[in-house]
Structure 1
Amino acid sequence: MTKSNPVLDALRGRRSIRKFTNDPVDREDIATILDAGRWAPSGLNNQPYRFLVIHDDDARAESLAECTKYGHIVKAAKALICIFLDKEATYSEMKDHQGAGACIQNMMLAAHSLGLGTVWLGEIVNQQDKVLDKLNLPADRYELQVVIATGHPDQKGSATRNELSEYMLEDF
């Protein structure tokens, strides 16, 4: 892949960041990230995702840190973007989960474009009931998809990928 453009560069350049500086994340940047999420595709355009932003000075951040083995990342983040599916707005479990994934990717790419770092904390969904309880959200209405830890990067990320041919079921 040799073509270069801003979208492809962002896709190739975004990395998971697990260490953050003490600089706060601007409210305007958070709004931009959330807006990027709402533009993700969803089946029937039902847009079943819902967002909750928790800043580092919110006591709920400490509570969320207790819900994951990655609590140190939760505590280091300046903002936590929690993404849920609203069960009252869903129509297809598979399509709605796919839409949530697209929403999450949009948000992480938007954050990257703003010079912010993020990491997708998916392990926390193993404690979904505990998370929903700590956030005072009804489990019969919301399904936790991810918590995105966000902040100004205090590390460089790295990643490798297999050759494209290793993913292909047949030549194209």
Structure 2
Amino acid sequence: MVALELYAAMKARRSIRKFKPDPVPRELIARILEMATWSPSGLNWQQWHFLVVTGPKKDELARSYGRIVEFGMPPAGQRNPQQEGFLQWAKTLGGAPVAIVALSPAHGQPGTRKMNLESVASAFSHLLLAATNEGLGTCWMTGPLDNEPELRKVLALPDDKEIVAVTPLGYPAESPAAAPRKSLDEVVTWIGF
């Protein structure tokens, strides 16, 4: 496969919610994770830790997310098609064969905690871009954290780890259009330039 040029990969990345069931080779996942570890990190602590989850544990993770999504919805029979579709996505992570969970060291000092979370978030962004470059789909998810106590049990996480984000990973079964982007005038303030 020909690697995409960096800017093309950045523009090609999409939040994928439908995946093919095809397994993703372990070597390919390892390559993507290695690229994630080239991210900058506060004090070069390289705070990230990744859980690569497949099989029954991945299904359990998805069901945990599905329960918290369903809790916030109208009862069955009163949901609209969009709600039903989103619930199905949550319960299965779109059929992705892999989920990756990004962890950070837990820290009681607010400044250090923020630095750790930002460092892991940067690595997670690298992971998503590397996956796109390899023809794989992802979706940056924080919704599963709404059911964090159950998710921590499913993953048997120790107290010294904090969940930052989750992504399904697999070969995309859809090609969503790019969402419109705000103009630079809306998101940039130039000071002293």
Q: Could you say which TM-score interval applies, normalised by the shorter chain?
A: 0.7 to 0.9
Deviations 1:49-86 (A, max 9, x none): 1111112xx21112111222352342611110111112
**Aligned letter for 1:135?**
L
- Residue 60 of structure 1 corresponds to 57
Aligned-pair identity in percent equals: 32
Give runs of aligned pairs for residues 86-165 of structure 1, distance below 5 A. 86-87=105-106, 92-138=112-158, 140-158=159-177, 159-165=179-185
Measure, in 2, the Cα distance between the counterparts of 1:61 and 1:28. Answer: 19
> What do residues 110-136 of structure 1 show as CA deviations (whole Å, max 9, x unaligned)?
000000011111111122221111111
> 1:73·1:149 contact (CA, 8 Å) conserved in 2?
no
| Uncovered stretches (5+) of structure 2, i.e. residues with no partner | 70-88
Instruction: Tell whether the 8 Å contact from 2:63 to 2:92 is kept in structure 1 after alignment.
Output: no
Question: Mapping of 1:7-22 within 5 angstroms?
Answer: 7-22=6-21
From the two aligned structures, give the one with the greater helix fraction: 2
Unaligned runs of 5+ in 1: none
Q: Deviations for 1:140-170, whole angstroms, at most 9, x for unmatched residues?
A: 2111111110110100122210111111224
Change (3 A) 1:83 1:113: same
Task: State the one-letter code of the partner of 2:91.
Answer: H
Check whether the contact 1:65–1:75 (CA below 8 A) recurs between aligned residues. Answer: no
1:33, distance to aligned residue in structure 2 (A):
1.2
**Paired residue secondary structure (1:92):** helix
- Report the TM-score when normalising by structure 1: 0.87
Query: Following the alignment from structure 2 to structure 1, what is the Cα–Cα distance between the partners of residues 185 and 42?
Result: 30
1:121 alignment partner, SS class: coil
Whole-angstrom CA distance in 1 between matches of 2:180 and 2:14? 10
TM-score (norm. length: structure 2)? 0.78
Q: Answer yes or no: is the 8 Å Cα contact 1:11–1:109 preserved in 2.
A: yes
Q: Say which one has the larger Rg.
A: 2
Q: Is the 8 A contact 1:33 1:107 kept in 2?
A: yes
Aligned AA for 1:83? A
What does 1:33-52 align with in structure 2 at a 5 Å threshold?
33-52=32-51
- Count of residue pairs the alignment pairs up: 164
1:94 Cα deviation after fit: 1.4
Aligned AA (1:167): V
Aligned Cα root-mean-square deviation (Å): 2.0
